[in-house]
Amino acid sequence: MLIDTIYIADINGDSLADVKICCWYGGCGIASLNERVVFLFQQPDNTFKKVSYIDMSPCERLERDMDGDGIFEIITMDLIYHNNHSYWCFNLFNYKDNQFINVNNKADYPIMIQFLFRENYKITNKISKEKMKTFAIELPENFDIR
């Protein structure tokens, strides 16, 4: 587990350095994965736009430019309970034009991975891709932009 981690990168592809801060706030069991994510997106006038939300283990999951457009996709993770099983549900977002937008369509997200008491990195076959799409979120939990 990483605690209070800071990353610097051009996340939104505007050639300005942006900052990602992960603030772990504790808990036991699954709650120990909860973190407040804070992005500081640098503006051309050297001010910053703050985007924050709650996520699970965000500093262990780095942003990726999945489609090569120069803008990193931000991956969020939630724990979803469905049909007597728990699943990790991953959604994709971009920060573009001062907006945080869901871009699941770029890589056929959301995807869901069954929560097991062992390492598991395989997209579940217990839920159809069509059903997974119903778990798409518009914005992450406790989303705030200023």
List the pLDDT tens digit at each of the 146 positions of the chain. Answer: 456 689 999 999 999 999 999 998 777 888 888 889 999 999 999 999 999 999 988 777 889 999 999 999 999 999 999 999 999 999 999 999 999 999 999 999 999 999 998 889 999 999 999 999 999 999 999 999 99
Q: What is the pLDDT of residue 76?
A: 96
pLDDT of residue 40: 98
Residue 130 backbone phi and psi in degrees, to 5: -60, -45
- For residue 89 the two structure tokens come to 């549900």
pLDDT of residue 24: 84
The pLDDT score that the predictor gives to residue 117 is 86
Residues in the chain: 146
The pLDDT of residue 3 is 61
- The amino acid occupying position 86 is S
Give me the pLDDT at residue 54, please: 93
CA distance 11 to 19: 8
Alpha helices by DSSP H, listed for 1-146, are: 129-132
Strand pairing category for 74-82 and 85-96 = antiparallel
The per-residue pLDDT for 31 is: 80
Query: pTM of the full predicted structure?
Result: 0.92
Position 95 scores a pLDDT of 97
Residue 9 Cα distances to 39, 63, 72, 110, angstroms? 11, 10, 10, 25
pLDDT at residue 26, as a whole number: 72
